[in-house]
Amino acid sequence: MSPVELTEACLARIERSQPILNAFITVTGEQALRRARDAEAEIHKGNWRGPLHGVPIALKDLIDTVGIRTTAGSELFKDRIPQEDAEVVRRLHAAGAVMLGKLNMHEFAYGATSVPTFFGAVHNPWKTDRIAGGSSGGSAAAVAAGLCFAALGSDTGGSIRQPSAYCGITGLKPTYGRVSTRGAIPLSWSLDHLGPMCRSVEDVALLLQVIASYDPLETSSVDAPVPDYSKALKTRVSALRLGIPRAIFYEQLDPEIDAAVKQAMEVLNKLTAGAREAVLPAYQPLPVLDAEAHAYHAGYIAKTPELYQPATRTRIEGGARITAEAYIQGRRELDRLRSAVAGVFANVDLLVTPTTPVPPATIAEAKVSEIPGPGRTTPSLRNTAPFDIYGLPTISVPCGFTSAGLPIGLQISGPRLGEPAVLALAHAYQQATAWHTRRPEFIL
C-alpha cells in the first residue's frame, strides 16, 4: 500500500473526527506528507527500513519533537518548542515511521480522565459522552477511531493500559527502563514508562521492537539485550502457569467486567497450564509520585499557578507537603517492592487481572470527580498502578463489552523483562477471540 495514500486517509479522518473526539492537539499534515513521500520513494528504490517504514503513527503530547510544539496538555507549555527529539522519536524516525502529530492528554499526565486539559476534553469513540481514559486518552481514542495505525503513550499509574481498556485497543507498559523516557516531560522519574498503543498485539510487538533499547544518557535505562518480540508471538503458551491475585484486583468489580474477565479466563485456561492463586507484595500508599511531580513543577507553579488546570494545580501543591523523610522512605520502599515481587514468579509465569474495576465515567462526571490525596490512587487505576510500582511489563487487551457498548480490558503481567511471554499469551488470546477486531461505529 502507498504510504502517501495511507497518510492522506489518516489526515482526512483526523479532520473529520477532530470536532467530535478532540484526540489531537497538533496535526503536522505537511510534514507527514513529506515523510510519506520520502518513505514511498525509498521503498520503491528497495531501501526498506522495516515494518514501520511509511506507517502513519502519532505521539502523546509530552514526548519532545524538535521544531513541533510539545505542550503536555497545558497552557503553561502551549507555545513550547523543543530543540531536540526524544530518544523514542529519534528511533521511530530511523525506522521510517510517518508522524501525524501530537495527541491530547490529561494535563501533565497527572490524572486518569483526559478531561483537565487546556485543549479540551478527549471523547471516547465508542460513546462520545464518555471519557477516553487517561492520561493517554488522545492516544487511545486516535488508535480506536482509526486516525493512526499506532501511538505512543506514557504510563505512571496506568495511563497506557486504562485508556486502552476504555477505548478497546491493545496497550503495553514495558518493564521500567526497557524504553528510554529521555525527552518526555516527566510526571515521576521513578515511575514513568513509555510504551506502544495499537490495535493488536502483533502491532505492539513491531512498535516495541523499535523503541526498546539501552540509552546510556538515561539514568533509568536498562542495559539488556532486546529480544525479537515478533518471534516471541510464536512461542507455545500451553506450559504457562497463570497467577490470579484476587486480593484487591478482583474486589468490588463492576458486574459486567467481572463476567467478561471470567469468560476470558475460560479461554486462557484452555490455552495454558491453568491458573492458581497468587499473592503480590503488599504496600501502603507511597508519596513518591506526588513528591517528584512537585519537584518538577515547583518553579513553574510558584511563578504562574494560573496557567495550570485547577485539578492539576491542587495535586501539585499537595506534593509540597510531603517531607524529605517521607519521600526517602517511600523511595526505599519502592526499591524493596521491585526486588520482592520477583519471588511471585517462582510459582507462576504470568499474572492475569481485569485492567480496570469500573467502566469509563461520563465526561460530566469526570469534571466533578474527587481529587485523590497524596499517595492515593484514582479508583479506575487501582489495578494498573501496582505494576508501575513493581516496574513489571503488563499489557491490556480487549476482552468484551458492557451492555452499553463500552469496551472491557484484560490485563496480563509478567516478570521483569518478561515482555516476550506477556506478548505471547496476549497474542494467543487474540488469536482465540475477536474482541480486538471490533471497531466503533464512529469510524464505519
In sign, the C-alpha dihedral spanning 80, 84, 86, 92 is positive
Residue pair 166/127 in contact (Cβ under 8 Å)? The answer is no
Nearest to residue 162, comparing CAs of 311, 359, 424? 359
**Residue 78 C-alpha from the chain's centroid:** 23
Helix (H, G, I), strand (E, B) or coil at 423: helix
Spatial distance between the Cα atoms of 418 and 173, rounded to a whole number of angstroms = 11
Of 138, 182, 133, 183, nearest to 355 (Cα)?
133
Residue of 135, 188, 200, 380 with catalytic role: 135
Residue 177, all three cell numbers? 527502563
What dihedral do alpha carbons 257, 260, 264, 267 form, nearest 10°? 160
| Contact in structure between 166 and 140 (CB atoms under 8 Å) | yes
Of 300, 240, 233, the closest CA to residue 271 belongs to 240
> Which residue among the candidates 60, 139, 154, 380 is catalytic per the annotation?
60
Q: Are 367 and 111 in contact (CB under 8 A)?
A: no
CA atoms of 289 and 376, how far apart (whole Å):
10
Q: Name beta bridge partners: 172.
A: 395
Which residue pairs, CB below 8 angstroms and at least 24 apart, start in 325-329?
326/287, 326/291, 327/287, 327/288, 327/291
Is 367 designated active site? no
In three-state secondary structure terms, 297 is helix
- Distant-in-sequence, close-in-space partners of 368: CB < 8 Å, separation ≥ 6: none
Only one residue has cell 469496551, namely 407
Distance CA 182, CA 368 (A): 34
Beta-strand ranges (E) seen in 303-402 are 350-354, 394-401
Look at residue 337 and give its three-state secondary structure: helix
- 180 as an active site residue: the answer is no
Between CA 98 and CA 215, with CA 24 as vertex, the angle to 5 degrees is 50
Residues 6+ apart with CB under 8 A from 231: none
114 belongs to the catalytic site? no
Q: Residue 67 class from Cβ within 10 Å (0-12 exposed, 13-18 middle, 19+ buried)?
A: exposed
The beta strands (E) that lie in 14-117 are given as: 24-27, 56-60, 98-103
Q: Which of 136, 139, 159, 396 is catalytic?
A: 159
Active centre residues (catalytic): 60, 135, 159
